[in-house]
Homo-oligomer: A and B are copies of this chain.
C-alpha cells in the first residue's frame, strides 16, 4: 500500500512504468495490459455465444467488470502522470483508452444496455504491441501506410461522393425495372440501393437478385462497367504508394519548377517554392 502511495507521488517513475516499456516494471505493465485486452475480447466472444451456459456467462460478466475497472484506473493513471495530459487525452490512443472503458458504464443506464460490447474498441490498443516488442520498423511501415492513405484521401473522398450518387441512380433504375414484379426482392429504393452497393463492390451476397431478363441484363452492365469504377481506388492507392516509395529512395522534385530537391530541404533551392 505504501509502495503504491510512494509510486503515486513519484510521477516520472510512474510515467516510465505506465507509458514506456524500457524498464522491467514498464514491460511487465504493458504485457499485463495486453493480456487483459486479449482476455476481455475472448470473454466477449464466449459470452455472446447462445450455447454458453448461464454460470459461465455470469463469471465472464464479472471478469468484464473487473477488467474495465482495471482499464479505468490505468486511464486515470495515464492522465495523472503524463506531462501533457490534455494532448494525450485528445490523441488517437487517448480516445481509444477512454472508449475502452466508457461503454460498460453507459450500459448500466437501462436504455443504453445494447452499447455494452462497444468496449471491444479496446482492440485498437493491441496496435501498441509493436512498441512493446520494439518493432520500430513495423511502426514506420504503419506510418508509411497511413501516409499513403492520408495522401490519397482527398481523391478517395471525391470518388466516394461519386460512388454514392452512382449507387443511388443505379438502385433507382433497378427499382423501376424490377420493383413492380410480383415476388421481387427490390421492394423499395433503399433496398435497391443496398443491392447496388453489394453489386458494385463485388461483394455479391445474393440475398437480393434480379429475376427478369431485363433486370439481369442491366445487372450485367452494372457489374462489367462497375468493375472499372471500383478499380479506381486501387489505382489511386497504388499510384500514391509508388510515388511515396520513389520519394523515399530518390528524393523529391519541386512541384513548381521540377528541379530535384533534398528530402530535408524546406524550400526549393531554385525557385523558392515552399515544400
* A residues apposed to B, CB below 8 Å: 41, 44-45, 48-50, 114-118, 120-121, 123-124, 126-127, 129-130, 137-138, 141-142, 144-145, 148-149, 154-165, 167-169, 172-173, 175-176, 179-180, 187-191, 193-194, 197-199, 201-207, 209, 213, 216-217, 219-220, 223-224, 226-228, 230-243, 245, 249-251, 253, 255, 258
Chain A interface main SS type: helix
State the Cβ distance, A267 to closest chain B Cβ, in Å. Answer: 17
Q: Roughly how many angstroms separate A33 CA and B135 CA in the complex, as a whole number?
A: 44
27 A–B contacts, CB within 8 A, in A order: A44-B172, A48-B175, A49-B187, A49-B190, A50-B187, A114-B180, A123-B165, A123-B168, A124-B169, A126-B161, A127-B165, A138-B154, A145-B158, A145-B159, A156-B228, A163-B224, A194-B219, A201-B223, A201-B227, A202-B202, A202-B204, A204-B205, A206-B206, A227-B233, A235-B241, A249-B258, A250-B258
CB neighbours of A141 from chain B (8 A): 154-155, 158
Q: Is the CB of B205 within 8 A of A209?
A: yes
Q: Is the CB of B176 within 8 A of A157?
A: no
Number of copies: 4
Q: Is the CB of B224 within 8 A of A232?
A: no
Interface centre among A130, A155, A220, A245 (most CB of B within 10 A): A220
Interface centre among A138, A162, A179, A241 (most CB of B within 10 A): A241
List 6 tightest A-B contacts by C-beta distance, closest first: A203-B204, A205-B206, A235-B237, A48-B188, A231-B234, A206-B206
CB neighbours of A239 from chain B (8 A): 238, 241-242, 245
A232 in complex: contacting residue of B160, B188, B237, B258, CB < 8 Å? B237
CB neighbours of A249 from chain B (8 A): 253, 255, 258
Q: Is the CB of A216 within 8 A of B191?
A: yes
**Known contacts A127-B161, A156-B228; is A148 also within 8 Å of B235 by CB?**
yes
